[in-house]
Amino acid sequence: MFKHTLIALATLVPLAASHSAFFHPSMFGFNVTDDTFPFDNRPAVPLKNRTFNDWWFHGHLNFTPNAGDIFELPAGMPATAEIACNKNATSYFATANNGTDARNATNPNDVCPGKNSTAYHTLGKDDLGGCALAIAYNSNATEVAPSDFTVFSVNQTCVFTRFTDFQVPARMPACPPGGCTCAFFWIHTQNSGGNPESESILQ
């Protein structure tokens, strides 16, 4: 008998990140660089004022993850997200910026090394909007609509640490064969600039 059900995520979709993103090989657009699109459409680039197609999946719906690259959601346990302002400040730096490791050697939780926290829109731990993970029980991302997503976990002290835990409910139903499709949402406060409504697609 298994104590925990392992829920496999086929895909991870950073929908709302502006100046920070949830990086993982299971995400759409994992290898998108500033050159991939006619405009800079890296995962951390803001989404405000975009058309639906440019906003949905961050415009990365055709930049699918490799088969087998899944983000696991262990039921009843925390799942740890890795959030940074640039891919080169994550564990996946080797596939960004010619392999330069930009992580902060003395502070593994530094979201944006070398930058003020205003780069990820916070003045401190008491100035955070929070993040959410949502799930759609369909492995076929092209079939998923915004209304298919259900938020199942939030972290209110987010974006503040590169490694951020999301508690996965113990009674999360298992995903269909092929996994589920998930979305990452972030809302920040207005204090360090930028309109927080640009990220508020939690409903």
Applying CB under 6 A, the residues found at the interface with ligand NAG are: 30-31, 48-49, 65-66, 86, 88, 95, 97-98, 100, 102, 104, 106-107, 110, 113-114, 116, 118, 140, 142-143, 155, 157, 161, 163-165, 167
Distance of CA 155 to the CA centre of its chain: 12
Q: Closest separation between CB of residue 80 and ligand NAG, Å?
A: 7
| Cα–Cα distance, 36 to 103 (Å, whole number) | 23
The pair of structure tokens assigned to 53 is 């197609």
Q: Which is nearer to ligand NAG, 173 or 193 (CB)?
A: 193
Q: Closest separation between CB of residue 181 and ligand NAG, Å?
A: 11
> Using DSSP, how many helices (H) and how many strands (E) does the chain show?
1, 8
| Cα–Cα distance, 86 to 20 (Å, whole number) | 7
Q: Closest separation between CB of residue 149 and ligand NAG, Å?
A: 17
Q: Which is nearer to ligand NAG, 5 or 191 (CB)?
A: 191
Q: Which is nearer to ligand NAG, 1 or 62 (CB)?
A: 62
Name residues whose C-beta falls within 8 Å of residue 86's C-beta, 6 or more positions apart in sequence.
42, 44, 96, 97, 102, 112
Q: Closest separation between CB of residue 49 and ligand NAG, Å?
A: 4
CB 136 within 8 A of CB 149: yes
Q: Which is nearer to ligand NAG, 116 or 150 (CB)?
A: 116
